[in-house]
Structure 1
Amino acid sequence: MDSCSSFPCLNGGSCTNIPESYTCSCPEIWKGTNCEQVALVCARKPCVNHVRCEDGPTIYTCICQPGWFGQTCDIPVSCGDPGPIENATVTAPGLTLGNVAIYACDRGYNATKGSEERLCQSDGTWSGEPLVCKFAESCNSSPCMNKATCTNLIEDFKCACGYGWAGKTCNLDVQPPQVANCSKSVRVNATERTHKVAWLQPVFSDPMNTELQLVSNYEIPSYTFPWGDFTVQYSATKLRNGLRTECVFNITVRPTPCESLPIPKHGTILCNNWSPDYGQFCLIACEKTYSPSPPGRLGTWMICGDDGRWSSQPNDCDLHLNNESYILSYHPNYVDFMYEGCNDTQRLRDLYLNHMLKHPDISLFSRLYPGYEESSSVRMYCNP
């Protein structure tokens, strides 16, 4: 039987007839009954762009160089198109291993994160992150008003406002009216019960040249005032923003002041300490066993009115009365106006107030200008 006549041996194998069959002698890299199985594939050098080839029981493996893949390492690695980027351009001369994609923000945009260069890596991915570009030239549209300085920010802007302006775009008028020639407070002494006072009228203005509403509690910058305290007030309100500026000062009109009385020898002077600007009412008291020499008398009021003049001057307590009976015979009430020492203040204060309330004119003064009931209502000038 000629079994080899059918050429059963494959891949260059040689056939030999044997009884009732055949046998194949296979070349080096083939095996099997008909030389149909690969024995040493790597010997045929199937791999390209490889590091090494490894034979297995039934298959071989190509270990590829970086940048290649596939059964025989014949397919180059590709990172693919990096894709379009918003507000930027991408230049990628190649998409395979080692190629670099270059990003550039469009004009007017700044990179805020990501990479300006990305490398195609052996695993088929681009290194880094895509570039992010955001608008950074908002000042080109001149958003700041009223001569403000504009600074670009990322997708924003900042205005440095000039004096008197505020807001995101410096469009808010926050300038209050300005005032010049605002008078200081005035104090005058008047011998008469009224006195004419004139002052400099303030001038209001607005650097933004907008309308002002002016108000004052005096129509003209002068007035005839009685004694007292008065407030002069001017105000200007800016109609555009409602801001207000005031000029306020006080005018004080008082009677002509009185000169200080001399403190009597061995005596003290008791005077009103409430509303002393409107009048002075004083008594003298003497140290115990002393009295004024005639014609001086204890219990006589010394009064200073609006002309600044005293009705009388105090006498010294220079009459020494050794015996109290002499004092009583001299004047029954003299003993009330005598004191032990300068610290006898409460008794002298009570004496002064009791004596004052008996005088119709002086008690009327206390009702017009209250304050005599306070503990410090009486001043005491003592000559020890």
Structure 2
Amino acid sequence: MSKAAKTQETQFFHTGSAEEPFEFASGHTLPGITVAYETYGKLNATRSNAILLFHALSGSQHAAGITTSVAGTDERWTEEIHNGWWDLFIGPDKALDTKRYFIICANYLGGCYGSSGPASIDPATDKPYGSTFPPVRTCDVVKSQLALLDHLGIKQLHAVIGASVGGLLAINFATLYPERVKLVVPIASGCRTTVLTRLTLFEQVLAIENDPHFKGGDYYEGEAPEYGLALARMISHKTFVHLDAIERRARQDLKQTKGSLSWYKVQHNVESYMLHQGKKFVKRFDASTYLRIADMWLRFDPLRDAGVKSYKELFARSKDAGQHYLVFSIDSDFCFYPEEQAELVAHLEKADVSNMHITVHSDKGHDSFLLEPQLYTPHLSFLLEGRWAKASVDRPVPEVE
């Protein structure tokens, strides 16, 4: 975090009404929803320099600078998330240069950081929605953020960028509304939910569902399902961080775990490290939001959302709109394996969509996209500044691996 990090303030956009409710893909409706968002940089006179950024599973609208409080988040807005999650990438002369671009990042619908979600108050009952909050699909999130773009007067984005789960949303946005964006950047993501990912997510769902305090999602007036949420985080964490990096981090500090387990005694730094990650996470996140996003990931289906039968048909939309994709792989990624990006690129190639595929070499695993701007910035700048298009006039831009 830069010493000169700018103080940011979360803003709130409201859409929908009793007369025109917001309709989810499931058919459920709400009389109105709220989208929490932050912006960085300045929108130019032609409103053509906007970049929409989708966060990862447990991220938020707070991508850069410092935000010390957000209305409606209770005690979840902990000091751990006061610093923006992509501050290394957003700012003057950084990958997303705020002297050139206007960056927008919004908390997902179903979230717990200011956007409408299970922990939000239902105006009909004056209590948290809990189990009654509708299931959320990626197309619902995209729809809510498209409404935000309309509110801001942005007809076409310069780029849409998303990492991890955010990459799924970036692809969904680009194929559902191809005329609304020129450049598409999925980072460490894919085009479908694999069997391995499905199993890992299902384990996390079971961890939360089987916590006795979960009560089907209606726990807000009692004890939260902290053990279930902590276990879900531990299951996911080992896919986000390379195992070698976990071992290195675990050597640094043996956290106190007294009273965590009734019979088994924690006896290794790795065990202590993972317990610490789980315990820390429950302070800043909501279990029902976690389930909504996990369910959204499990049910990701861009073909269904677009009403097509093949990826060739899906990406024909990108071809017709003249979109260009920059796809990032991380060679040590255990969450979205590099084969998943290779599959995405193969589909783009079959549809004759302009693209570049970059493989980042890192020992940090999936979390590389949060930690190593030097590996991504040259390629992002090359794309966003339009140099890829100039280079392709004389020769095709080769795949770089």
The TM-score, its normalising length taken from structure 1, stands at: 0.17
Task: Return the index of the structure with the highest Cα Rg.
Answer: 1
The structure where helix makes up a greater share of residues is: 2
Q: Which has the higher contact order (CA 8 A, sep 6+)?
A: 2
The TM-score, its normalising length taken from structure 2, stands at: 0.16
The structure where strand makes up a greater share of residues is: 1
